[in-house]
Structure 1
Amino acid sequence: MCLPGSCPRTQPNGPWASNLPWSLSLSCPVNFSEAADRLLSGLQEGFLWPMLAAEFLVALAGNSLALYRFCSREQHPWPPAVIFSAQLAVSDLLYALTLPPLAAYFYPPKHWRYGEAACRLERFLFTCNLLGSVIFITCISLNRYMGIVHPFFTHSQLRPKHAWAVSAAGWALAVLLAAPTLSFSHLSRSQGQGQCSVTSPGACTKCLGTAGDSQLEAYRVYSLALAALGCGLPLLLTLAAYGALGRAVQHSHGMTAAHKLQVMVLVASGVALYASSYVPYYITAVLNVYARLRWQALCPGFANEAAAEKALAQRTYLAHQVTRGLVPLAICIHPLLYMAVVPSLDCCRQRCGQGQTPKDTPCSSQALPLNVTATPQTSGLQSPELSP
């Protein structure tokens, strides 16, 4: 084992080496980084790849079915409610398509086989469609708010073309926020000799979605900006919209108690899904960056590999890996919400615009007429639409 400061000037190939300033990485023995890499990669290889593979199959089937439903059963042109829901389904479907390469990558031994261009593209698409899901969930939340709290303005002023314009802006924002990952992502070439295998992980190639050594400060700022703009701000908008929606529903005299309860369950499920998947992912991602920096600052002082492994923030790293598995779980649940609570808008319009349909009609079997809306100022009236 070389002493601190006397090691060869070789860039380490550890799990966090790509996030470290060059001046610090030179003083960290390579064997310490490799020991950390073996430990942390084992956490990914143990549970993450089968979870991602299973979630891919469920998300692919569910979101494909949702899109088929929107294309075959809803009126044309689509109203804003369906437009935003369809955009969410497309984003979730594209996000699901990034999971098989990740699952293959994490399958032991952890090794990227597809080249650097594919690595950068996969990380970009992963981030872009993750952001797209958050953005369109926020659009759906705001559309629900407008339909409930400002129903007459929504009905008279908002048109499908406005929803398409907002959707285009949402995609542009997702691409813009995800674009830096094309620069930050890179391959960490193998430093070891021989063929990559479970017993020889040092010979494997890593696809890293974080920054190289010279870009660490920029990546730290980017991760904070991504957490704020890609999660924090949309969450605040969603909570504000749902808070106003909940108050309007509770004070409405034009909705039955059963419909009020169903709307509140829908609102609560949306908030719970957001809070249990996207928020933990972004929080643990930021914490993981700072944990890497702390470990690297301590690295030159480790007495041996055991001390290097002990100093790892394994709980933070493991929490981030768990949230990486929970995020795809959300895109599996979205289609369940479509199928469970999104009735045909034609049916809903019949119930809302012409009164309750007879119980022997197909409409009466729908779980929730989501375009049933009312405000305290419009007691006894129902108007457009609480989107899916």
Structure 2
Amino acid sequence: MISLVIWRRRIYFWPYLGDFPAEMATFDNNMTNLTNVSAFYCHFNEHFKYILLPVSYTLVFVIGLALNATALYVIVFRTKRWKPSTIYMFNLTMCDTLYILTLPFLIYYYADENDWPFSEPFCKLIRFLFYTNLYGSILFLCCISLHRFVGICYPVRSLYWVSARRAKLVSVALWAFVLFCQSPILYFSRIRDVEGERICYDTTSPELFNDFLVYSSAVSVLMFALPFIVVMVCNGLMVRKLLAPGWGSEGAERGGLSAQRSKQKSVKMIIIVLAAFMLCFLPFHLNRSLYYSLRYLRQVDPSQISCKLLEASSVAYKVTRPLASANSCVDPILYFLAGQDVRSSLTKKNKSSKSTSVSQHLATQL
């Protein structure tokens, strides 16, 4: 069982469609000669990847590291009291920072045109950390949206539901869940030597792709689709609540114009969060799922999927990779730096009345 792959102006033979170089060709599993190569062979011209990914990852690394380092400094050294929102923000920033720290190795790898200079265990570790912190960011974004939703839509009840202790427990549970769900990456990720070049698979080796497809689909549903629905619903309900005529009347009486401005800013922040989530994570997961599905169908029956369609899906998937990474640059701006102004303007309330206590609690959510 052989397959033909053109890689760096050389010819190799490979059994299935894989990442690199295997993603550049597909063959029927039962093919025993090269006379039918034209019926199965797909050549992808993806040299753009060796420019797009190193450049985009470098920008994300420089900008994201600076922003997240600043956010961590303010949270750790300038925040005296850690509220539930602070705890979630700290964990989100840690996810983004750890994610960013994996990028230099991938920058070198893609800039060197998929020649992995390190060991297989290190390849597994980098891929594991990459996806662990990517999905950790998604889940903590979901937690922050839920936290804000409870504080805005159920302000009185949230005084009893929300606490720093519960936020810590939720954070520990989320980390355990993410590590458990991403642990199979340590099995699927592996390297393969091809004519002196070492491939570090982003997915897995070709012979394990079918199993990896099942795993990847389950992860996409549990760690992206469901959190995405929660974020959309929570932020949509928050927008409706904030735009209601009677909302924040107590704050308007006591805080005047500043309270109204904070309310308007909160609505804008929610809209930006929704847009960022949809632009960063949604295109990446949709295109990746489509690409993996077409790869599988092409492997099963090459006559069903044309090479042009498969190549188009591959290009779209790789173009959206930097979008998912860019979210690590957006998170500190959305949830910490901009949020400071909201809290400072809304916490100036009278602590003697119940309505004032609610207003102060709302300030921690916004």
Q: Per the shorter chain, which TM-score range?
A: 0.7 to 0.9
Match for residue 365 of structure 2? 387
1:271 and 1:165, CA in 2 relative to 1: closer, same or farther beyond 3 A? same
Deviation of 1:311 after TM superposition, in Å, equals 4.0
Q: Say whether residues 1:128 and 2:125 are aligned partners.
A: no
Q: Percent identity?
A: 24
Q: How big is the shift at 1:350?
A: 3.9
Whole-angstrom CA distance in 1 between matches of 2:23 and 2:162: 48
SS at match of 2:179: helix
Larger RCO: 1 or 2 (CA < 8 Å, sep 6+): 1
Change over 3 Å in CA distance of 1:31–1:325 after alignment to 2: farther
Instruction: Please give the per-residue CA displacement for 1:334-377, whole angstroms capped at 9, x wherever unaligned.
Output: 1222454222798457413459xxxxxxxxxxxxxxxxxx9xxx
User: For this pair of structures, how many residues does the alignment match?
Assistant: 343
Residue 323 of structure 2 is aligned to residue 326 of structure 1: yes
Match 1:52 to one of 51, 57, 60: 57
Instruction: Output one character per residue of 1:280-333: Cα deviation in whole Å (capped at 9) or x when no partner.
Output: 11111111112223444566x8xxxxxx99546222111111211111111111
Partner letter of residue 59 of structure 2? Answer: A
Residue of structure 2 equivalent to 1:274: 277
CA RMSD across the alignment = 3.6
Q: How far apart, in 1, do the equivalents of 2:76 and 2:165 lie?
A: 17
Query: What pairs up with 1:241-260 in 2 under 5 angstroms?
Result: 241-251=234-244, 252=247, 253-255=249-251, 256-260=259-263
1:197 maps to which residue?
none
Contact 1:19 1:212 in 2 (8 A): no
Q: Following TM superposition, by how much is the alpha carbon of 1:116 offset from its aligned partner in structure 2, in angstroms? A: 0.7
Deviations 1:58-90 (A, max 9, x none): 1111101001011122223x1101000111000
State the shift of 1:9 in Å: 8.6
- Tell me the TM-score normalized by structure 2: 0.82
Of the three residues 206, 214, 221, the one matched with 2:214 is 221
- For 1:1-388, what aligned pairs fall within 5 Å after superposition? 11=15, 15=19, 17=22, 24=29, 39-40=45-46, 42-76=47-81, 78-190=82-194, 192=195, 203-251=196-244, 252=247, 253-255=249-251, 256-297=259-300, 311=308, 313-338=310-335, 340-343=337-340, 347=344, 350-353=347-350, 382-385=359-362, 386-387=364-365
What amino acid sits opposite 1:247 in the alignment?
Answer: R
CA distance in 2, matches of 1:387, 1:19: 48
SS of corresponding position for 1:210: coil
Corresponding residue for residue 200 of structure 1: none
Letter in 1 for 2:152: I
State how far apart, in whole Å, the 2-side matches of 1:380 and 1:164 are. 23
2-side partners of 1:28 and 1:46: how far apart? Answer: 36
Tell me, in whole angstroms, the C-alpha distance in 2 between the residues paired with 1:125 and 1:250.
40
Gaps of 5+ in 2: 5-11, 252-258
* Structure-2 change in CA distance of 1:344 and 1:164 (3 Å): farther
Tell me if structure 2 keeps the 8 A contact 1:49–1:103.
yes
Give TM-score scaled by structure 1 length. Answer: 0.78
How far 1:227 sits from its partner (Å)?
1.3
